[in-house]
Structure 1
Amino acid sequence: MKRFIYCILILTVSTMLFSGLNIYSTTAKQTNENITVYLAGDSTVANYASNRTPRAGWGQMLPQMFDEQIIVKNEAVPGRSTKSFINEGRLSKILNQIQKGDYLLIQFGHNDEKSYDPSRYTDPATSYQHYLKEYIDGARQKGATPILVTPVERWSFSADGKALATHGHYPGAMKELGRKENVPVIDLTAKSRALYQQLGPEKTTELFLFLDAGEHPNYPDGVQDPIHFQEKGAREITKLIAEGIAELNLPLQKHFLKNGGE
């Protein structure tokens, strides 16, 4: 009898251990099925706290575009260029986490243009491409997919209402590098300018952080910001990112929500 009870106990414990392993294996499998999209960029991409509302970067809205299998880690930081982001160890932080099957979206240009600041400035034909290649090589070494994103346009119109280019040679330099390195490129510069042209000067201000005095408690004196977006604008730019992903026929498009996060 004692031997029978002992056998039953052994069988019970073995079953529990086996079940536990199965649960662990299932959990591990589910975790492995997740894909992380890392974002490296500047203030037009970054997340903002509630005390900066309605200011928002497009990266802040990107999670709304995807199903639960996609995890977005927005590492973009205001004021950074390709150069300063690396020198501050921020690319290394991403590369220490990124895994095979993940993605790295890279948008810089706004601060690379600042020739008065040697800690951030890069030349579009030389050092800009050199630093961008570090992002590309780092992601690929980890088995991740790098995606270059040309810098989103600022609000700028001519007197006759034409949306103007505001980033000089930087978008072209990024696209050139993309061709050379066989890296997918989302031409957000062209896409955003086309959107602004379609909307016109007045409607485009609704995308950016243009607020009258007293319109929002976080900006009691008002603000006229032709660079940074309101939440509405960030969502519209995110749609352009999604459009670019679809045009490139990247596997990420399989995880788009049907309603585009709306």
Structure 2
Amino acid sequence: MRTIFLFSLPTLLTVASAYCPPTVFLLAGDSTTASLSANGGGWGDGFNATLVPPGVCENHALNGRSTKTFIDNGDWGRLLESAASFSEKEYRVFVTIQFGHNDQKLVDFEEQFKTNLKAMVGDVRGKGGVPVLVTPLARRNFWPNGTLNDILSPWAGYVREVAEEMKANSIDLWKESKRLLEAVGETQARRIDLADGDHTHLNHAAEKVFGRMVADLLVAELSERGRKRLDVRCVVGRNETMSREIKKGVMSF
């Protein structure tokens, strides 16, 4: 005699939503994504701190890298090997790609930058992962009127162009970091410099703020429009106080 279990629709939905697949974020980028060091510090480790099991993060970002040197030096190849390994283990694999600060040094910088980003998007997809293009973190150079003098605006635009052309997921970190920095003002912004005169890299306190900003942007981007396969809310822990303050233009330390 078979036993038949009858579940109500709400119960079925609860059971289905309780499953959270293992998810890995692989971070590609320059020093504004990389771990805190003497010559760099970015949002990457702050983002890692927001994750909860079964969420995993590998920060592959390195100081001084452009899209070109990240590829030429083998850093990108190592990240792709990791992506393939996690895919084989049935992880959901997301690869964030944030460059721009050092790509101004390229010979034909605009076209090389966009060409490299397109290749990176294709490479990640080829390894079974989901690429997420990230506009560069804003620099903290202020005009006397309190607005940012940030030459990275064109680079943010190039990232948006590639994301649209490649139909890739993207988050606008440049826009959101610029908005927050202009809201808090230059005096507050100086409190997050890695060292005196360093208006690019983040200290430990800022790493947490911008790591939370990236986490919130990724949740919004990867949980929209019913794309449940991409939903990352179950591996990104909440900090409603910090998220609310960031939206209001406040940085707490």
Same fold by TM-score greater than 0.5: yes
CA contact (8 A) 1:40 1:107 kept: yes
Structure 2 residue aligned with 1:79: 64
TM-score normalised to structure 2 length: 0.77
Structure 2 residue aligned with 1:234: 207
Structure 1 residue aligned with 2:109: 123
| RMSD of aligned alpha carbons | 2.1
CA contact (8 A) 1:36 1:70 kept: yes
- CA separation in 2, counterparts of 1:234 and 1:162? 22
- CA separation in 1, counterparts of 2:170 and 2:151? 19
CA contact (8 A) 2:43 2:210 kept: yes
The match for 2:29 among 41, 49, 52 is: 41
**Any unmatched runs of 5+ in structure 1?**
1-31, 115-119, 211-222
- CA separation in 2, counterparts of 1:247 and 1:159? 34
Structure 1 residue aligned with 2:239: 259
- CA separation in 2, counterparts of 1:230 and 1:121? 31
Shift of 1:164: 2.8
SS in 2 for 1:147: strand
What does 1:1-262 align with in structure 2 at a 5 Å threshold? 33-48=21-36, 52=38, 56-98=41-83, 99-100=86-87, 101-114=92-105, 120-124=106-110, 126-210=111-195, 223-248=196-221, 249=223, 250-259=230-239
- CA separation in 2, counterparts of 1:166 and 1:233? 21
Structure 2 residue aligned with 1:26: none
- CA separation in 2, counterparts of 1:121 and 1:111? 12
Shift of 1:47: 1.2
TM-score normalised to structure 1 length: 0.75
**Bigger CA radius of gyration:** 1
- CA separation in 2, counterparts of 1:121 and 1:146? 26
Q: How high is the sequence identity, in percent, across the aligned residues?
A: 27
Structure 1 residue aligned with 2:10: none
Shift of 1:56: 3.2
Shift of 1:253: 2.3
